[in-house]
Structure 1
Amino acid sequence: MDVRSVVQWGGVWVGLLVAALGSSVAPSAAQNGFPFNTELTLEAAPMRGSKRIPNLEIGPSGEVIIELWCKGARGRFSVAGDTIVFVPGAVDDRGCPADRAAADDALLAALADISGWRRQGDVLVLTGTRELRFRRNTN
């Protein structure tokens, strides 16, 4: 084998090594980023008489669809580093019972008050006056 062949094959092996390392590093970096394009469910038990648990569907640009205990809502997350702002949008009042409407309003107020976020595996933790934990849907 001449020197040119060794250099060419060496370049191929280096390229394959870089590609392999890049693919093993990328998922861990993605796990630590904000979970755009993800559906998450609040870590909470259902309210009595219902199976619903609030969830978020976060789009690629931070737009969010929220299904609450009874109501539905829209909004937007603005994320910069570990800082986050939730801007509420329209709320779909579905003629909810008073206890569920109050729980929905309290959750929307807590979302409007968040200021920070972090990831803990499949859990998005939103921090403000109240900590909210949303688990990534894996189904």
Structure 2
Amino acid sequence: MRSTSMLSSAALAAALVAGSAGAALTQPAGDFPFGLEMTLEAPPKPGSKRIPNIEIDEKGEARVELWCKGGSGQFSVAGNTVIFVPGTIDNRACPPDRAQADDALVAALTAATTWARQGDYVTFSGGETLRFRLNTN
């Protein structure tokens, strides 16, 4: 009987920890720029004026416009931790170099594990560092 109650207590504790961890992933961080469009700090590709940008709403749903492709995704932010899960990315008629750059950018966002904000700049870090400028005007 005692081992059953210990298992029940352990299961309850595990459920509470899992539940609070899940809640932490969906709660907005204090100064994460939800609702603002961010543009990647990078020059346009030759033959194009486009520069990738993302906009993340308060629920973490993201609109992503890349060098050529575009689509959606989901961000989870807790403290300085970030997780990006790409959704549907439209496979537009892109030149191979831009399509490859788009795929690399999505992979770099997916690999990001932390974020930081300094003024009008947001940096995502993980395997690679990506710096975005907030479009505040």
Question: Would you call these one fold, judging by a TM-score over 0.5?
Answer: yes
Total equivalences in the alignment: 108
Report which of the two structures shows the higher radius of gyration computed on alpha carbons.
Answer: 1
1:81-108 deviation digits (Å, cap 9, x = unpaired): 1111001100101110000000000000
1:104 is matched with 102
Give the letter aligned to residue 128 of structure 1.
G
Query: Pairwise mapping of residues 1-139 of structure 1 onto structure 2 (< 5 A)?
Result: 33-139=31-137
Tell me the distance in 2 between the aligned counterparts of 1:59 and 1:75.
11
TM-score norm. by structure 2 comes to 0.77
Tell me the distance in 2 between the aligned counterparts of 1:77 and 1:55.
14
Runs of 4+ in 1 over 6 A off after TM superposition: none
CA contact (8 A) 2:112 2:126 kept: yes
Tell me the distance in 2 between the aligned counterparts of 1:137 and 1:93.
26
Tell me the distance in 2 between the aligned counterparts of 1:115 and 1:57.
18
Please give the secondary structure, in 2, of the residue aligned with 1:107: helix
Give the C-alpha shift of residue 138 in structure 1. 2.4
Give the C-alpha shift of residue 58 in structure 1. 1.1
Please give the secondary structure, in 2, of the residue aligned with 1:79: strand
Give the C-alpha shift of residue 60 in structure 1. 1.4
Tell me the distance in 2 between the aligned counterparts of 1:66 and 1:54.
8
For structure 1, the residue ranges without an aligned partner over 5 or more in a row are 1-29
Q: CA RMSD in A?
A: 0.9
Tell me the distance in 2 between the aligned counterparts of 1:134 and 1:53.
11
Tell me the distance in 2 between the aligned counterparts of 1:47 and 1:71.
13
Give the letter aligned to residue 55 of structure 2.
E
1:7 is matched with none
Give the letter aligned to residue 135 of structure 1.
R
Tell me the distance in 1 between the aligned counterparts of 2:71 and 2:107.
12
TM-score norm. by structure 1 comes to 0.76
For structure 2, the residue ranges without an aligned partner over 5 or more in a row are 1-29
